[in-house]
Amino acid sequence: MMTLLALAQATFDQGALAADGDRDAARAVILRQQDAFRHDDAAAAYAEAAPAIRSIFPSAETFIGMVRQGYAPVYRNRRFEFGTDEALPDGSLAQGVRIQDQDGTDWEALYTLERSGDGAWRITGCRLRKAPGASA
C-alpha cells in the first residue's frame, strides 16, 4: 500500500512544476503561517487554513494546539526551506519543505494547498515525516 507521501512524491517525479505566480502565492501563504506559529498568533495561523481544515478544528486555539502537539517541527524549527513544488491535476498545489526541528532532526513536509472561493490559496494539509537518514 502506497502512503500518501509516497504517492505525492511519485506525482512530483511525473508532474509539472507550479506556475511562478501560483508558486509564489502558495509559498507566501505557508510563510505567513510559519510567521504566525513563530509568534504564537493562533488567529493568523488559522486564517491560512482551508475551510475543510477549519471545519475539523472549529477554533484557532484548537487548531494551534493540534499543530503544537502533532507537528512540533512545523510549529518550531531551526530551518524551514522550500523544496520541490507541483501543480496537481485537480488545480491544487503541493509544496515540499525541508525542516530542521529545534533538536537538529531533519524532516520533510509536504503541504497541499487549494484556491478558495476568493481566489486566495489556503493550506489543506501538511504531511510530515523524518527525512531519510534522520535518526529516530
Residue 45 lies inside a defined structural domain of this protein: yes
DSSP class per residue in 77-119: EEEEEEEEEEE-TTS-EEEEEEEEETTS-EEEEEEEEEE-TTS
CATH number of the domain at 67, please. 3.10.450.50
Residue 1 lies inside a defined structural domain of this protein: no
Domain count, the chain: 1
The rounded percent of the chain whose pLDDT value lies above 70 is 85
Residue 11 lies inside a defined structural domain of this protein: no
Residue 108 lies inside a defined structural domain of this protein: yes
128 and 102 in contact (C-beta within 8 Å)? no
Residue 4 lies inside a defined structural domain of this protein: no
Residue pLDDT, tens place only, 76-88:
999 999 999 999 9
What pLDDT does 2 receive?
38
Residue pLDDT, tens place only, 53-62:
999 999 999 9
The domain in which residue 45 lies consists of: 20-130
Mean pLDDT over each residue of the chain, to the nearest integer: 89
